[in-house]
Amino acid sequence: MSPSVLLTVNGHTHELSLAPGTLLIDALRTDLALKGTRHGCGEGACGACTVLVNGIAVQSCDIAAAECAGAAIETIESDAAAPVAAAFLEFTAAQCGFCTAGIVMTILAWLRGRPVPDRAELIGKLDELHLCRCGAHARILRVADALVARPVR
Amino acid sequence: MSTLPADLAANPRLDLWVRVDDDGCITVRSGKVELGQGITTAMVAIAARQLCVSPQRVRIVSGDTALAPDEGQTAGSQSIEQGGAAMRTATALARGLFVAEAARELGVPATDIKTEEGWFFAVGRNDRCSYWDLSARVDLALDVTGLEPAVILAGAVTPPARIDLPGKLAGTMFIHDLDLPGMRHGRIVRPAMARARLVGFDRAAIEALPGVLAVLRDGDVVGIVAARDDTARQVAKRAAELLRWDAPPAPPPMSEFHDWMDDLPANSRVIFDETTCVPAAHRYEGVFARPYIAHAAIGPACAVARWTDGKLEVWTHSQGVFPLRAHLARALAMPQSDIIVTHRPGAGCYGHNGADDVALDAALLARAAGAPVMCQWSRADELSTAPAGAAMRVSVTAEMDADGRITCWDQEVFSPPHFARPSAAPGTALLSAWSMATPQAPAIAQQAGFPPGTGERNGLPLYVVGARRLRHHLLPQGPLRSSALRSLGAHCNVFAIESVMDELALRAGVDPVRFRLAHLDDPRARAVIEAAATMADWREDAPGGEGVGRGIGFARYKNSSAWCAVVAQIEVGERVRLTRAHIAVDCGEAIDVDGVINQIEGGAIQAASWTLIEEAGWDSNGPRARAWEDYPILRFGDTPDIAVRLLQPADAPPLGAGECVAGPMAGALGNALRHALGVRVRRMPLTPERIATAIEQEGS
Ligand code: FES
Ligand code: FES
């Protein structure tokens, strides 16, 4: 029998029985059917799978679900992500949209660093964690600039 | 009626394009599919305008062999040119039929009917009726060939926000989100080198791996099926260790200017030959090259297949559901009529990547498992087994007279295939089909008429250059598998042409912008160059050197589509960085201005990435790139500032814009580097090593 793990995702706690070593991304996509988080490379190199764990942007393909037990996990499906996602739509800061969910989460974490979210810090974070093959980079930064002027939780 | 758009003429039944639903909406169907370019949103805007309803009332089905028209591939920046034209006419014809019925209903001549938000009004009266009131009486199941010509309404409605994005963020829209009842997850276990022979296979050992539900073996194709995607990934890794392969002969070694091309069989063609070059005051000769370039989608290739009573359903992010169906039928030796192929979006593909291949993989795995199966590729497969964009070598010889006028231009292009998609040509374009127990011959690489051409695309300058010659040598079997990547040969051909233009301008002592204008009589070409120069505040005397530079690049894509000029500003430090790009494009009327600008910005950043850093190489063990760390692409820290201006001349029909920027960007970067360092780098990518080599060679 697989051991059970308590995962708190977007404010709801779930008891999941997971095979040892199950990655957070698979617990989210497969066990919880939260499929907005994307599986890009599965190797910690593209950022498509980024979620927040205790407010910090984490690549969910690179961390075991059990390690996140008890932590507050936030995904693209969370209410907090909605205004950031809406701004991506408003600015059409995506082409295929495969990188978008992960980038939304990184920007959400960054925005919470108010009162003064630092643009250079965001670029550094995006540079470290994320790839976008469609070339939406410039638009994504424009969204971030616009969001700084708006209220965010 | 001879004026029907080609796609409509080929699919003349109107109800294939438009149906009035009974819930106050209208469904339109397109054969053009969403690749992240926003095509479904643009189609909805086109249909809404012609149907006189708000876009919110328009639903779209796209890419479905059972439901939607056959419009071939969604490629080559032709979706709006062709698919949009067909949609516009089809929806205008449908409106016309409803207007006629409304006129009968309201007892007035059709010319007195006004249409607004789905309602038909008799002018000056209060009576009205709607699409939904009349739909039972208006038969759309008819052949449009016999109809009166469509009355096309001018203008466009403002497109809604991208209709595909909310579902993509909600986890419901991508193919990877599909979850059929009883669906399992499968993987193909591939050798490092394509077409290696399987010499060690122990079915019992693979079946014994924990989590294995089914094992596929068909000739040299091996796969596993598990209940969950994560289990399938783990099992595939362990199964790989249990297989033994006999590798095919090693490919020829890589070399800077692709010397290996000289030893390969070639299909050689003279595309264009006005005369041979007569020597003039100045001659410039140069050899330019680009490496293979990976498509490198962010998301893995993925497909879902389900067999029911010998019939097959496939969900795919292929660019062409009908051509894919034809090739699945070849590979599986079954009639096309027993296969339904339905499009679901995947990650951006930028051309022919593994999307088609994985559809056959899923079908084979689903057959082995006796259950619906989703098959995804690994990152290594994505980078090493999918077709790459072809490597190229382009030689240019140009002569210029003492007055600085180019008198002749001779361009010779070598390239492995730029087009090996599923198509009507013989052979099968699906990877696993080549290694099944009953193997299929690979599809023959295709050449196309010029323009547009494939490897020789944009190999003729648009400039007035006197006598021109263009030759193309297609090498059917290169060291890596290759097929269509955005812009095909235009990327390297324009890089070569624009590099030579700057070298000639330098020898003539004329500013590069003025030199180009002096060799152009096409007013729309001149306009984009002038616009980009103005945007960038181009100065003839701008100092180069000190590690900063600026350069211009121009082309008319395919010599017949959108005009584009780019001014690139760069900084050269540890590497070359594009800091700013000013881009002017004339792609005729834009249905969705911001959507087109988005395409151009994305194309510009991707082309900068190709040109500055990307190279898909190989060694004696096959393709070298198997993970992102082996194949860097442009990252956020190198995001350039981009400004795009669309010139929209009045009454100019829309032309695709997704690919027009690749060549001009490459040219502008090469020229900016020349301006910054005084050295001409002829081989992409423009890395520090190549710059050092070029400096050494010029010094010697
Ligand atoms: S999927 Fe996790 S980093 Fe790529
Ligand atoms: S929008 Fe396609 S990868 Fe970023």
pLDDT tens digits for range B563-581: 999 999 999 999 999 999 9
Q: Residue B44 falls within a domain, yes or no?
A: yes
**Residue that finishes a domain, picked among B384, B407, B432:** B384
Give the whole-angstrom CA distance, residue B370 versus residue B365. Answer: 8
Give the whole-angstrom CA distance, residue A135 versus residue B141. Answer: 42
Domain count, chain B: 3
A-B contacts (CB, under 8 Å): 167
**Which of the residues A50, A98, A128, A140 would you substitute to probe the B interface, choosing the one with the greatest number of B C-beta atoms within 10 Å?**
A98
Q: Residue B495 falls within a domain, yes or no?
A: yes
Position in ligand 2 atom list of the atom nearest CA B348: 2
For A77, the closest chain B residue by CA position comes to B170
Which residues fall within 8 angstroms of residue A131, CB to CB, at 6 or more apart? A40, A45, A46, A47, A48, A99, B298, B628, B633, B635
Q: Which residues of A touch B347 (CB under 8 A)?
A: 40, 96, 98, 133
Give yes or no for residue A8 CB within 6 A of ligand 2: no
pLDDT tens digits for range B69-100: 999 999 867 788 899 999 999 999 999 999 99
Give yes or no for residue A97 CB within 6 A of ligand 2: yes
User: For residue B240, how far is its CA from the centre of ligand 2 (angstroms)?
Assistant: 31
B528: pLDDT strictly greater than 50: yes
Same domain, B498 and B465: yes
Class at the top of the CATH hierarchy for domain A4-74 = alpha beta
Q: Residue B623 falls within a domain, yes or no?
A: yes
Q: Residue B669 falls within a domain, yes or no?
A: yes
Q: DSSP labels for B447-470?
A: ---TTT-STTTT-S-SS--SEEEE
B267: pLDDT strictly greater than 90: yes
Q: Residue B446 falls within a domain, yes or no?
A: no
pLDDT tens digits for range B404-456: 999 999 999 999 999 999 998 899 999 999 999 999 999 888 778 888 999 99
pLDDT tens digits for range B12-29: 999 999 999 999 999 999
- Tell me which of A38, A59, A99 to substitute to probe ligand 1's pocket, judged by most ligand atoms within 8 Å of the beta carbon: A59
In chain A, what are the domain boundaries?
A: 4-74, 79-149
- Residue numbers in chain A where pLDDT is lower than 50: none
The mean-pLDDT minimum among B201-205, B606-610, B649-653 falls in B649-653
> Percent helix, strand, coil in chain A (nearest 5)?
40, 15, 45
B639, A94: Cβ pair inside 8 Å?
no
ipTM of the complex: 0.97
**Residue that finishes a domain, picked among B362, B384, B406:** B384
Are B185 and B227 in contact, with CB atoms under 8 Å apart? yes
The model's pTM: 0.96
Same domain, B404 and B369: no
pLDDT tens digits for range B393-412: 999 999 999 999 999 999 99
B698: pLDDT strictly greater than 90: no
Same domain, B380 and B395: no
- What pLDDT does B48 receive? 97
Same domain, B544 and B686: yes
Residue range(s) defining the domain that contains residue B64: 6-167
Same domain, B392 and B380: no
Give the whole-angstrom CA distance, residue B86 versus residue B24. Answer: 24
Same domain, B225 and B97: no
pLDDT tens digits for range B46-75: 999 999 999 999 999 999 999 999 999 998
Q: Report chain B's mean pLDDT, rounded to a whole number.
A: 95
A45, B595: Cβ pair inside 8 Å?
no
User: For residue A96, how far is its CA from the centre of ligand 2 (angstroms)?
Assistant: 5
Same domain, B340 and B357: yes
Position in ligand 1 atom list of the atom nearest CA A45: 3
SS3 B263: helix
pLDDT tens digits for range B109-144: 999 999 999 999 998 888 999 999 999 999 999 999
**Residue that finishes a domain, picked among B167, B183, B198:** B167
Please tell me which of the candidates A26, A34, A133 has its beta carbon nearest to residue B297. A133
Q: Which residues of B touch A97 (CB under 8 A)?
A: 36, 164-165, 168-169
Same domain, B85 and B204: no
Same domain, B546 and B481: yes
B1: pLDDT strictly greater than 50: no
Same domain, B575 and B661: yes
B627, A127: Cβ pair inside 8 Å?
no
- What pLDDT does A152 receive? 60
- What pLDDT does B75 receive? 84
- What pLDDT does B275 receive? 74
- Residue B589's pLDDT band (cuts 50, 70, 90): confident
- Residue B545's pLDDT band (cuts 50, 70, 90): confident
Q: How far is B636 from chain A (nearest CA, A)?
A: 5
Give yes or no for residue B298 CB within 6 A of ligand 2: yes
Tell me if chain B has a CB within 8 Å of the CB of A56: no
Could you tell me where the DSSP H helices lie in B321-410?
321-332, 355-369, 379-384
Q: Residue B94 falls within a domain, yes or no?
A: yes
Give the dihedral sign, CA B175/B177/B182/B185.
Answer: positive
In terms of Cα–Cα distance, which of B570, B462, B585 is closest to B516?
B462
Same domain, B180 and B107: no
The CATH number that applies at residue B203 is 3.30.365.10
Hey, which residues does B246 pair with through a beta bridge? Answer: B197
Class at the top of the CATH hierarchy for domain A79-149 = mainly alpha
Give the dihedral sign, CA B519/B521/B524/B527.
Answer: positive
A35, B172: Cβ pair inside 8 Å?
yes
Q: How far is B380 from chain A (nearest CA, A)?
A: 9
Burial B316-332 (b: 16+ CB within 10 A, else e): bbbbbbbbbbbbbbbbb
Ligand 1: residues with CB < 6 A are: A 39-42, 44-49, 59, 61
- Residue B546's pLDDT band (cuts 50, 70, 90): confident
Q: Residue B425 falls within a domain, yes or no?
A: no
Position in ligand 2 atom list of the atom nearest CA B347: 2
Give the single-character DSSP code of B124: T
